[in-house]
């Protein structure tokens, strides 16, 4: 049987008091070629490598971005907030900008907006906006807003409309964006940002 305690109790192990790590919240601009994990069996660079000499507390990424995807990634040691942000019922928007093969036409955008089949399941309604096209290279830049988080979802959504993702970047989660940061940069979230995230 475990022992019960309250927040007023002090817990010691061999006479040494246990200290609770302060909550840490980081907004990170993940570069391409970095693993969204705390370790990698192939010894590739992982996101927490950027903080080992700066932060003693154990932090971990909230969700993931693919190895070849760049953009906004949150890291924290707050498990409650992590669960809140990842749960699909909370419908927290994530905005991606994708460079894809082909000239994306209106019917493909409508398919993305109404949902496509990914792994046998139809994706929720999304926002899809064509930003630009390159007629010479036959490529398009599309902004896609989703609130789900299935593995490789954005890439598979584009595959379902006949396009291959060449480059992908997550630009925003909820109200948080990459303003003022370049690839590899990071900053601590402000107190008001953390409070606002918890209210999303």
48 close to 56: Cβ distance less than 8 angstroms? no
Residue 39: enclosing H or E segment and its boundaries?
A: none
73 close to 61: Cβ distance less than 8 angstroms? yes
Residue 192: enclosing H or E segment and its boundaries?
A: helix 191-199
Token readout for 114 is: 């109404």
Of 40, 66, 68, 185, which residue is the catalytic one? 66
Active site residue 134: no
28 close to 60: Cβ distance less than 8 angstroms? no
Residue 194: enclosing H or E segment and its boundaries?
A: helix 191-199
32 close to 68: Cβ distance less than 8 angstroms? yes
Catalytic residues: 66
């Amino acid at each position: 049987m475990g022992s019960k305690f309250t927040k007023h109790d002090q817990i010691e192990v061999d006479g040494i008091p246990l200290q609770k790590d302060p909550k840490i919240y980081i907004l990170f601009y993940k570069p391409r070629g970095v693993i969204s994990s705390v370790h990698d069996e192939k010894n590739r660079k992982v996101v927490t490598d950027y903080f080992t000499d700066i932060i003693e507390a154990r932090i971990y990424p909230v969700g993931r971005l693919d190895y070849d995807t760049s953009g906004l990634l949150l890291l924290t040691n707050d498990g409650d907030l992590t669960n809140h942000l990842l749960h699909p019922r909370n419908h927290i928007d994530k905005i991606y900008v994708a460079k894809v093969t082909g000239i994306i036409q209106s019917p493909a955008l409508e398919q993305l907006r109404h949902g496509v089949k990914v792994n046998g399941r139809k994706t929720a309604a999304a926002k899809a906006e064509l930003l630009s096209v390159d007629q010479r290279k036959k490529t398009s830049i599309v902004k896609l807003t989703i609130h789900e988080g299935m593995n490789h979802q954005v890439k598979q959504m584009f595959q379902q409309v006949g396009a291959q993702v060449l480059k992908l970047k997550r630009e925003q989660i909820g109200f948080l964006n990459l303003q003022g940061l370049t690839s590899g940069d990071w900053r601590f979230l402000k107190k008001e940002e953390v409070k606002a995230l918890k209210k999303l």
